[in-house]
Amino acid sequence: MKDVAPHDRPREKLERLGTAGLGDNELVAIVLGSGSRQADVLRLANRLLERAGGVHALTRTSVHDLQQISGIGDARAAQVLAAVELGRRTLLRARADRPRLSQPREVAAFLLPQYGSGAVEQFGLLMLDTKHRLIRIKIVSVGTLDSTIVHPREVYREAVAASAAVIVLFHNHPSGDPTPSADDLALTARMVNAGEVMGIAVVDHVILAEQRYFSLVEHGCLHPEIERSRIR
């Protein structure tokens, strides 16, 4: 940092301009705290962002990934991921709010901060009451980079236990493309059919990817027999 003017160093710059006045690398440099023998803290921050693929990709980065960077050990990797997680949590609604999720865009806005950038597929459900207020959220299956396996009994066991009136299925696509696959549509049909038997309607299946989503209801892909139960 010797070649950076004192007033332009990250901590001093933050004091003058606030966090919004800093670049991604400068914010990461503050989290790291100091550089290494081979690189000052700004160069180390640049290496980290380059390795991760940018600041947005940090939500999908692991401790092991960061440890591959020269100058980043266990402690610094943990600092970075802890800072990312704190930022993510500030975007989440307080669970006590029991939000009313009556439209696909509301469901997506609720889920994306926590589940949109997962490194592996996670399949879950939102359990809602008769007024579409949130009762509970549950992940029922965690898979790999491009697939997850879930059975209707696992979903409806949770829905029955929560006394849910309706449910919204959701899962993420780590690829960044929320377009449903043929398997996604087939699984949705199985869940819909099981819901008809159980008396708990599937009102949507929302696929998440980074900052985008795909609602089967919005695109007319939900099973036609439950059209009357769609989120409007």
pLDDT in tens, 102-151: 999 999 999 999 899 888 899 999 999 999 999 999 999 988 665 668 89
Which comes out higher in pLDDT, residue 6 or 203? 203
With a pLDDT cut of 70, the percent of the chain lying above it is: 88
Res. 69: pLDDT tops 80: yes
- Average of per-residue pLDDT values in the chain: 87
Instruction: Output the pLDDT for position 229.
Output: 43
Top pLDDT among 111 and 57 is at: 111
Spell out the residues 6+ positions from residue 157 whose beta carbon is closer than 8 angstroms to its own.
Answer: none
CB-side neighbour CA atoms (13 Å) of 143: 16
Looking at the chain, list the stretches that DSSP marks H as alpha helix, in order from N- to C-terminal side: 10-17, 24-32, 41-52, 63-67, 74-90, 104-115, 152-161, 182-198
Mean pLDDT to the nearest integer, 190-214? 95
Fold topology of 6-90: DNA polymerase; domain 1 (1.10.150)
Q: Look up the pTM and report it.
A: 0.66
If you average pLDDT over residues 174-187, what whole number do you get?
93
Residue 128 to residues 9, 135, 224, Cα–Cα distance (Å): 49, 5, 21
**Residue 95 DSSP label:** G
Confidence of residue 18 (pLDDT cuts 50, 70, 90): confident
- pLDDT score, position 228: 41
Q: Start-end ranges of CATH 3.40.140.10 in the chain?
A: 95-229
pLDDT bin (cut points 50, 70, 90) of residue 15 is confident
Say whether pLDDT at 8 is over 80. Answer: no
Decide which of 3.40.140.10, 1.10.1040.10, 3.40.33.10, 3.30.420.40 is the CATH code for 95-229. Answer: 3.40.140.10
Range(s) within the chain of domains with CATH label 1.10.150: 6-90
Instruction: Find residue 122's DSSP bridge partners.
Output: 142
Q: What is the pLDDT of residue 231?
A: 45
Q: Is the pLDDT of residue 226 over 70?
A: no
pLDDT number for residue 4:
62
Tell me: pLDDT of 179 over 50: yes
